[in-house]
Amino acid sequence: MTQIIIRNGLVYDPLNGVNGEEIDIGVKDGRIVDPSEINVAEAINIDAKGKVVMPGGIDIHSHIAGPKVNVGRLIRPEDHYLTNIPHRLPYKRAETGLTVPNTFKIGYEYARMGYTLVAEPASPPIKTRHTHEELNAIPMIDKMTFILVDSNWIALDLIQGGEKEVLAAYLGWLLYATKGYALKIVDPGSDVAWMMKGKGIDLDEQIPGYNLTPRDIIKATGEAAQVLNLPHKVHVHCNRLGYPGNYATTLKTMGLTKDITKLSEKPVLHITHVQFTGYKGDSWTNLESGGEDIAKELNANPNVTLDLGQVIPGRPATTMTADAPFEYVLYHLTRWKWSTSDVEVESASGIVPYRYRKKNYVNTIQWTIGLEVALLSRDMWRIYLTTDHPNGGPFIDYPKVIAWLMSKKAREDFMRELSQRALRKTSLPAIDRELSLYDIAVITRAASAKLLGLEKTRGHLGLGAEADIAIYDIDPRRVDLSKQYDKVIRAFRRAYMTIKSGEIVVRNGEIVRTTYGRTIYVKPELPIDLLKDLEKMISAKFKQYYSISLNNFIIGEHELKKGVEVALKTHLR
Amino acid sequence: MYLIKDNVFSLITGRTITQGISMESEGKFSKEYFKAVALIEMNPTDVSKLGIRDRAKVIGECGEVVLPVKASNDVPPGVVFIPMGPWANFILSSITDGTGMPTVKAVRVAIEATNEEVTSLIDILKAVRAKSLERIPQERPIKTGEKKVFEDVPCPFCGDLCDYLRIELDGERVVRNIGGCAISTAKFLNYHKDRVLKPFIRSGGRLVEVSLNEALEVASEIIAKAKYPLLYGWSNTCNEAIELGVELAEVTRGVIDNTSTICHGPTILGAQEVGSVRSTFGTIIQLADLVIFWGSNPAHAHANHYARLVMSEGKYVKGRKERKVVVIDVRRTPIASMADLFIRIEPGRDYELITALRMAIKDLEIEAKEIAGVSKEKVLELAEMVKTANYGIAFIGVGLTMTGAKHRNLQELIKLVQELNEWTKFAIIPMRGHYNVSGANNVDLWLTGYPYAVDFSRGFPKMIPGVTTAVDLLSNSEVDAALVVASDPVAHLPRRAVEHLSEIPVVVIDAKWSLTTTVADVIIPTGLVGIECEGTAYRMDDIPLRMKKLVDPPQGVLCDTEILSILLDKVKAKRGVV
Amino acid sequence: MAGVKTTYVVKLKSKPTVPIDSRNISPDKFAGRSLSDIKLLKVLEGGRETVLEELFDLEGPTTAVREPGEIEIVITGPETSKLKYLGYKMSNGKLVVKGDVGHLAGYKMSGGSIVIEGGAGSYLGAKMKGGTIEVFRDVGDFAGGKLQGEKPGKGMSGGTIVVHGNAGSQIGVGMSKGTIIVEGSAKVLVGAFMTGGSILVQRSCGGFAGARMTGGKIVIGGAVESVLPSFYVDSMVPSAGVKGRTINKQFMVFIGDVLVDGKGMLYVAYEDNKLLLEQYRELVEVALIE
């Protein structure tokens, strides 16, 4: 295996408390080792003088694979027309697409930005075999998928019946059966309402056909995640996403952490793409940012974490979510293309192409929310950089977001192009804070690893860590990051070098080889007695609800190109 | 408004169940297939009007055939029906209106009484200049003895991918198929018959048996040397094989197209324009109280479909009695007799009916008294019906995709259903033919961004309907070699396209002898996915299933994935891409 | 367009077996280049990259003028019907093809002129912004159209296409401006999704003309297979035409497509479609000018 030694780089490794120090890093057999273990004669020597060295980036929420991403590709051929990069065989396959790129472009672009692990955040269980096929086809990065359980008829039956243990066991079984990593709740209960009534519901409204509310689902699933000892607890997309005034629902949902019995030290709920659920006001015309209120709740509540879902004005986006009713509402605004799909027993989804316009009042408000939350947050370890790709914008624009976070000037320059009426209603223009490179390393890798429960081997450069490394060609001692933000964008857009599992895959911002990463999934250990009863129950429910056989639902380990199982000791007895 | 002039008729083609069974059991060279496919259905009044005794000459834009006549009241006067197959395709034009889809429904043909001999398959193959008619079918050797039972087997025939079959084996012989339809049973019980068991290359006009390596060597030479090869088929194999096919297209800078190009391609084009409204079988069983079959004939093409989805009892809808069934078609198909409402539409004019429905739903005044042969009152009745359903589903067939406005039909139908969601819940599922055609679209999408007809000539993917679609490429003589995997284009493409296949080198990878083997220069035997080989396939509602391997492939025969891997490596080596 | 000063003759050496991407055969690409450089311009034979001189014989001045408007390129050969993307994005000058051309001729052109002495494939002048294209024989589908998946209005946005023969389906689909004239007949969906511009088909056309058009004008001088119910009859007029081409016969005028609140005008020759149009006659309020 390759040995690499990276010398003289400025290392930002927050999990090990390293803040821009010149430290040499050794890589051997895919792991970080002490430089003294490297055979210098055989090793690749990299002089990183004047460059920034960070652990590989980790994206905790990006729609990169699965049925809905593929339908996005299907309905948007025009998204591909002017975005082609020809293949360079045998090193690199052909790339196409901007908001819904092909699998190759997804892997390559993440690698070019120094990212090495990405989570697909929403896969309907019955179609997760498809999600894995796409994950298998994405080169360069490691990956994982979260499993949708927000409107699952079997889970709802169990929640309604108060069968907490069985629910936990069922969800644990489901994660392993689908080779998923975490539980995802999207607009809980709403897809039931959508399939039956064509509408969505709020946190305390009744779910049609059940004596339950979305609040009950979040609470029950949250507790099941505790019992199962999941490394990443529950990933929540709040109710009423995309509606003016929804910040109140978000605050209420964040507050649910206190109702969930904690069995571990970790935060209890992760609220995702909070920008989309951070709207104050009661209509689009008087929309305001709920960013400040949300940041306040975040600062007060240590059991909750947030990712931004930052929007990128001036770029096309393709909105896609398992929040089917929301997409239907959005379709009424755009009146162009709309895709929706009802998935039996489990979920539904919607897709609508969208463009965030710079001069648009609402889009400007949306732009400020994500940044406000990040800049007003006191604990950088509980926020994460995302655009909810491709909902707020394509992930290739992360460097722009990094610049906005690091430079007030970047924000001011951009704000000149936005709706001034909207800006007058937000607090963002008055915020002076500028994040440091260290902060950026936290919100794009260290904290992300921790949130996913992978901080032992990922998101840092300590001994024994996975050798996922990004080197960026920018010298904070020579460049004024706050003023020369264009250099920040350039550096983060194209990494000087990306090392994935100990191999150099990107040099000077370009792919030098195509490799395939691993897919990480969990296997919660279930007590045998419980498992037997559970299988009986599931088998009966399958016959009643599903149109495929139980046997054909379960995804085999061999169906993953390179699966990595994380065995979990649960609290189930 | 459909004019019937003298002996001019509107020709409809389509699948029939006997066509499916005969194809899957005895093969396309059999008497059974001939009996099932070489015929024309006409209304009895037309038969007597033309003075036809037992056969007729059918004259199309591209040729003429003589066929036995079957008098039937299922087709209205002025309309004739020929089952999908070489006879129908022989007379059809290859013009696709820029959609990649030839017009195979509502085609004007002239018909006259004749005493000439019925056109044989041999006549047709000769006329398209097939390279030879030679074929060397074999039964695969079968070990018997050990009794085995496989449960929950997904069926590798149609897009319904029924995954509840119980397959009983005596050693390697399939003795029972419980749960499968007639075609499924024919496929499983006869899987060992009419097989290609050895690799062949064409040499001096004759098929010569060669080693697998030699066949692959010649095949890779053909493909690597081509300036612009077409890689066609892909709907009867697994996703893993299709992924290799896409790579092969990329490496050779050719085109990969799958059979949706002549099936539901227009449905997909419609989705590219406006989106889609989809559902899955389970949802339909649980919730649907209105089922529409539009231009689709599940009784013949998807035999379990009706019982599985319309008769089944769900959580909120208690089976057939709580479901309304509407059939919209140009002829009274078998499913029509089971419907609560049958609407006969004039061939090729679906777009007008959809337009009128959209207008009725929006309360826009309709000035015309009759639309596409349907009275205004009936349009309004149907509009009310769809608007007031709780959960409606439209199963759409190739009756919509192959005629008139083609993909615009589908685009409008999707629009209609999108608008219906203002009042109710409504979705569309296209009745996909081959068991993994949906998978072929999906794989192409994730690897290239396009669902079919993907061109790599510039080193990146591009899809331009009417330009990069297989029928257009072939009928314009624009490709210089072809690889055909798990498909039979000679049986299913229009004549002009088939003729080009006779003119260029062709590599065929197939488990069974097909009409396309008559134009092949290399034939490579393969295992049958879902019986001898494993892999993933997607149901018509995009539910992914794992196809099972029940028995080993015949000795010396590899699966598609293995063959394509070797072929890919050889082509890469020959083109210096390593 | 400035006057032509130099002419190049580009002749295919042999009959191609696969399409040839000839987008570089254009006055813009030739302008300012030496002949030897021109000979090395890239072409694609199928998927195989090669240079112009391998497939074509070139004759012309040793150095091309700098102004594309002063360049004329004459394309000949044993069979030019497989040449694709001729005149792609050309801004000025002239292309003359002594035979048929393949697909996508004049795609995205913005000026100058293309004269095709034979017929043309599909997507002729698709997305063109300006200039003129003249075709002596038949053309394929989507002439002056948009690409798959694009919004209505993304088709041709300027310039003129004149076809002396017949046209295929969906001519002018999604066009927003400019003129298409077909002296023969056309197939289905003439001017579907157009937002502006005008189309004249001198003879008959297939069904669904003007489907979902929001603006613009379509004149059909012969028989039509159908008029969509989403077009409301407006009046009868004694003649109709576009851009100085007038057909002097009675036309029934429809406005549509009402499904998209369209304000497009569809002119259908009355006598040629009497059977179909009679039912609308009583709805026409304006007195007929006999």
The answer to whether position A200 is within a domain reads: yes
| Cis ω before C100 (30° cut-off from 0) | no
CB contact under 8 A, A129 and B447: no
Pair (A169, A242) in one structural domain? yes
Tell me whether residues B281 and A547 touch, CB distance under 8 A. Answer: yes
CA separation for the pair C274, C262 (Å, rounded)? 25
Q: How confident is the model at residue B28 (pLDDT cuts 50, 70, 90)?
A: confident
CA distance A359 to chain C (A): 22
Indicate if A479 and A412 belong to the same structural domain: no
Nearest to A232, CA basis, from A193, A187, A267, A195: A267
What is the DSSP secondary-structure string of A200-224?
---TTSPPTTSS--HHHHHHHHHHH
Query: Which chain A residues are Cβ-neighbours of C193 within 8 angstroms?
Result: none
Q: What pLDDT digit, counting tens, does each position of B284-307 carry? A: 999 999 999 999 988 888 999 999
Among A94, A127, A548, select the one facing B163 at the smallest CB separation. Answer: A548
Average pLDDT over residues A562-573: 96
pLDDT of the residue at B5: 59
Percent above pLDDT 70 for chain A:
100
Helix pair angle (A361-376, A291-300), 10° resolution:
20
Residues B280 and B421 in one domain: yes
Instruction: Tell me which of B405, B430, B455 is where a domain ends.
Output: B430
B358: left (phi over 0), alpha (psi -120 to 50) or beta: alpha
Taking a C-beta distance cutoff of 8 angstroms, is the pair C130, C110 a contact? yes
Residue of C48, C275, C280 with shortest CB distance to B367? C280
Looking at residue B376, its pLDDT comes to 96
Contact flag A549-B164 (C-beta cutoff 8 Å): yes
- List the CATH number of the domain containing A492: 2.30.40.10
With b meaning 16 or more CB within 10 Å and e meaning fewer, what string describes A83-116?
Answer: bbbbbebeebbbbbbbbbbbbbbbbbbbbbbbbb
Chain-chain contact of B164 with A79 (C-beta, under 8 angstroms):
no
Q: pLDDT 10s per residue in chain C (290 long)?
A: 457 789 999 999 999 999 999 999 999 999 999 999 999 999 999 999 999 999 999 999 999 999 999 999 999 999 999 999 999 999 999 999 999 999 999 999 999 999 999 999 999 999 999 999 999 999 999 999 999 999 999 999 999 999 999 999 999 999 999 999 999 999 999 999 999 999 999 999 999 999 999 999 999 999 999 999 999 999 999 999 998 899 999 999 999 999 999 999 999 999 999 999 998 988 886 544 44
Strand partners, C57: C11
Residue C285: the pLDDT is: 63
Mutation pick from A73, A74, A78, A100 vs chain C, by most beta carbons of C within 10 Å, is A78
Q: Summarize the confidence of residues B138-159 as an average pLDDT.
A: 96
Residue A197 confidence (pLDDT)? 87
- Considering the domain architecture, whether residues B269 and B415 belong to the same structural domain is answered as yes
CA dihedral A56, A60, A65, A71 (to 10 degrees): -130
A244-295: per-residue pLDDT in tens? 999 999 999 999 999 999 999 999 999 999 999 999 999 999 999 999 999 9
Given an 8 Å threshold on Cβ–Cβ distance, is C123 in contact with B362?
A: no
Q: How many domains does chain A have?
A: 2
CA of A366: how far to CAs of A243, A294, A444, in Å?
Answer: 12, 14, 21
Q: Is A223 within 8 Å of chain B by CB?
A: no
Take residue A133 and report the two structure tokens written for it.
């096929």
* A505 close to A511: Cβ distance less than 8 angstroms: yes
B70 and B38 in one domain?
yes
Residue A133 touches partner B, C-beta closer than 8 Å? yes
Residue (of B285, B545, B549) closest to A128 by Cα position: B545
pLDDT at A122 over 80: yes
Nearest CA to B536 out of A558, A361, A161 is that of A558
User: H helices within A416-527, ranges in order?
Assistant: 420-424, 437-441, 447-451, 485-493
Q: How many CB pairs under 8 A join A and C?
A: 11
Per-residue confidence at B1, pLDDT binned at 50, 70, 90? very low
The nearest alpha carbon in chain A to C152 belongs to A336
CB contact under 8 A, B269 and C148: yes
Residue among B310, B460, B464, B468 with most chain A CBs within 10 A, to mutate: B460
Contact (CB<8Å) B458/A351: no
- A259 & A309 share domain: yes
Shared-domain flag, residues A422 and A481: no
Dihedral Cα A224, A225, A230, A233, nearest 10 deg = 180
Our CA dihedral for A119, A125, A130, A134, rounded to 10 degrees, sits at 0
Residues A447 and A466 in one domain: no
Q: Are residues A376 and A497 in the same domain?
A: no
Give the contacts of A535 (CB within 8 A, at least 6 positions apart).
Answer: none
Asked if residue B138 belongs to a domain, the reply is: no
Kindly give, in sequence order, each residue whose CB lies less than 8 Å from that of residue A138, ignoring residues fewer than 6 positions away: A64, A65, A103, A104, A106, A107, A516, A517
A81 touches chain C (CB under 8 A): yes
d(CA B510, CA B194): 11
Mean of the per-residue pLDDT values for chain B?
A: 94
Chain B residue closest in CA terms to C149: B273
Same-domain check for residues A243 and A290: yes
pLDDT the model gives residue B25: 82
Among chain C, residues having any CB pair with chain A shorter than 8 Å are 147-151
| Distance of alpha carbon A573 from alpha carbon A165, whole angstroms | 9
Q: Which of A105, A547, A550, A560 to mutate to test the interface with B (most CBs of B within 10 A)?
A: A547
Taking the C-alpha atoms of residue B353 and residue B357, their distance in angstroms, rounded to an integer, is 6
CATH number at residue B213: 3.40.50.740
> Is the same domain home to B160 and B38?
no
Whether residue A85 is contained in a domain is answered as no
Please judge whether B358 and C169 are an interchain contact, meaning their C-beta atoms are less than 8 angstroms apart. no
Helix (H, G, I), strand (E, B) or coil at A128: helix
Domain match, A487 and A347 both: no
- Do residues A406 and A506 both lie within one domain? no
CA B351 to chain A, closest CA, distance in angstroms equals 19
Average pLDDT over residues A500-529: 97
Same domain, A214 and A320: yes
**Domain that includes residue A473, residue range:** 3-56+456-511
B559 and B447 belong to one structural domain:
yes
- Which 279-318 residues of chain B touch chain A by CB within 8 A? 279-283, 285-287, 308, 315-316
In a domain, residue B386? The reply is yes
Residue B42 sits in the same domain as residue B122: yes
Burial class (CB in 10 A: 0-12, 13-18, 19+), B117: exposed
Question: Which tokens sit at B453?
Answer: 């007809």
The chains found to touch B (3+ Cβ pairs under 8 angstroms) are A, C
Predicted confidence band of residue A496 (pLDDT cuts 50, 70, 90): very high
Beta bridge partners of C135: C116, C163
> In the prediction, which pLDDT does B249 show?
98
The pLDDT assigned to B464 comes to 98
- DSSP 8-state code for residue A298: H
Sheet holding B290-294, edge to edge: B341-344, B324-329, B290-294, B391-396, B425-430
Residue to mutate among C104, C212, C226, C252, with most B CBs inside 10 A, is C226
Inside any domain, residue B195: no
CATH of the domain at A214: 3.20.20
Q: Where is B438: in which H helix or E strand?
A: helix B437-448
Residues B281 and B416 in one domain: yes
Chain C residues in contact with A77 (beta carbon < 8 A):
147-149
As a dihedral over the C-alpha atoms of residue A446, residue A448, residue A452, residue A456, rounded to 10 degrees, the angle is: -10
Residues comprising chain B, all counted: 578
Q: Please check whether residue A140 lies inside any domain of the structure.
A: yes
In a domain, A278, yes or no: yes
B134-143, B237-246, B536-545, C258-267: lowest mean pLDDT where? B134-143
Q: List the single best residue of A103, A126, A133 to mutate versus B (max B Cβ within 10 A).
A: A133
Cβ neighbours for B384, distance < 8 A, ≥ 6 positions apart: none
B354 and B217 inside one domain: no
ipTM: 0.97
Given B430, B465, B480, the domain boundary residue is B430
Q: What is the mean pLDDT of residues B155-176?
A: 97
CB C178 within 8 A of CB C160: yes
In a domain, B3, yes or no: no
Query: Residue B3: is its pLDDT beyond 80?
Result: no
Q: Is residue A255 part of a domain?
A: yes
Using the 8-state DSSP alphabet, how is residue A473 labeled? S
Res A410 pLDDT > 50: yes
Same domain, B483 and B381: no
User: Is the residue at A238 inside a domain?
Assistant: yes
Last residue of a domain, one of A464, A493, A511: A511
Whether residue B136 lies inside any domain: the answer is: no
Quick check: is A558 in a domain?
no
> DSSP letters of B349-378?
-HHHHHHHHHHHHTTPPP--SEETTEEHHH
Question: Which residues have a Cβ under 8 Å from the Cβ of B491 and sit 6 or more positions away?
Answer: B28, B85, B86, B89, B514, B515, B516
Q: Do C150 and A75 touch (CB under 8 A)?
A: no
Q: Is residue B1 part of a domain?
A: no
pLDDT in tens, B103-121: 888 889 999 999 999 999 9
pLDDT at C289: 47
Q: How many CB atoms lie within 10 A of CB A510?
A: 14
Is the pLDDT assigned to residue B196 strictly greater than 90?
A: yes
Q: For residue B84, give the CATH number of its domain.
A: 2.40.40.20
Residues A361, A478 within the same domain:
no
- From residue C87, alpha-carbon distances to A86, B457, C48, C77, C83 in Å are 23, 19, 20, 17, 10
B348 and B255 both lie in a single domain: no
B398: phi then psi, degrees, rounded to nearest 5: -70, -5
Contact A76 C150 (CB under 8 A): no
Convert the pLDDT of each residue in A449-492 to its tens digit.
Answer: 999 999 999 999 999 999 999 999 999 999 999 999 999 999 99
Strands (E), B462-568: 481-485, 506-510, 522-525, 535-538, 544-547
Closest Cβ–Cβ partner in B95, B227, B366 for C229: B366
| Nearest-5° Cα angle at A265, A261 to A267 | 75
Question: Pairing between strand B324-329 and B341-344?
Answer: parallel
- Asked if pLDDT for residue A185 goes beyond 90, the answer is yes
According to DSSP, the β-strands at A52-55 and A57-59 are unpaired
Q: How far is A77 from chain C (nearest CA, A)?
A: 6
* Separation CA C140–CA B475 (nearest Å): 14
Are A165 and A44 in a shared domain?
Answer: no
Decide if B246 contacts B483 (C-beta within 8 A): no
| Domain that includes residue B99, residue range | 8-127
Asked whether residue A40 is assigned to any structural domain, the reply reads yes
pLDDT at B2: 41
Of A75, A76, A78, the CB nearest to C147: A78
* CA distance linking residue A471 with residue A6, whole number of Å: 9
Nearest-neighbour CA in chain C from A351: distance (Å): 15
With a cut of 80, say whether residue A5 has pLDDT above it.
yes
From residue B482, alpha-carbon distances to B238, B477, B506, B519, B562 in Å are: 20, 12, 5, 10, 19
3-state helix, strand, coil in chain B (%, to 5): 35, 25, 40
Q: Is A75 on the interface with C (CB under 8 A)?
A: yes
When CB atoms are compared, the residue of C147, C148, C151 closest to A336 is C151
Confidence of residue B18 (pLDDT cuts 50, 70, 90): confident
* Chains near C (3 or more Cβ pairs under 8 Å): A, B
Task: Tell me which of A511, A532, A549 is where a domain ends.
Answer: A511
Q: Do C147 and A81 touch (CB under 8 A)?
A: yes
Spatial CB neighbours of A164, under 8 Å, sequence gap ≥ 6: A220, A223, A224, A227
- Name the residue with higher pLDDT: B424 or B21: B424
**Pairwise CB contact (< 8 Å): A342 & B427:** yes
Same domain, B171 and B205: no
Number of folded domains that form chain B: 4
Cβ of A198 within 8 Å of Cβ of B445? The answer is: no
Q: Are residues B244 and B295 located together in one domain of the fold?
A: no
- Per-residue burial over B280-300, b if 16 or more Cβ lie within 10 Å, else e, is bbbbbbbbbbbbbbbbbbbbb
Using the beta-carbon criterion (under 8 Å), do C103 and B479 form an inter-chain contact?
no
Pick B460's closest partner by Cβ from A85, A546, A547.
A85
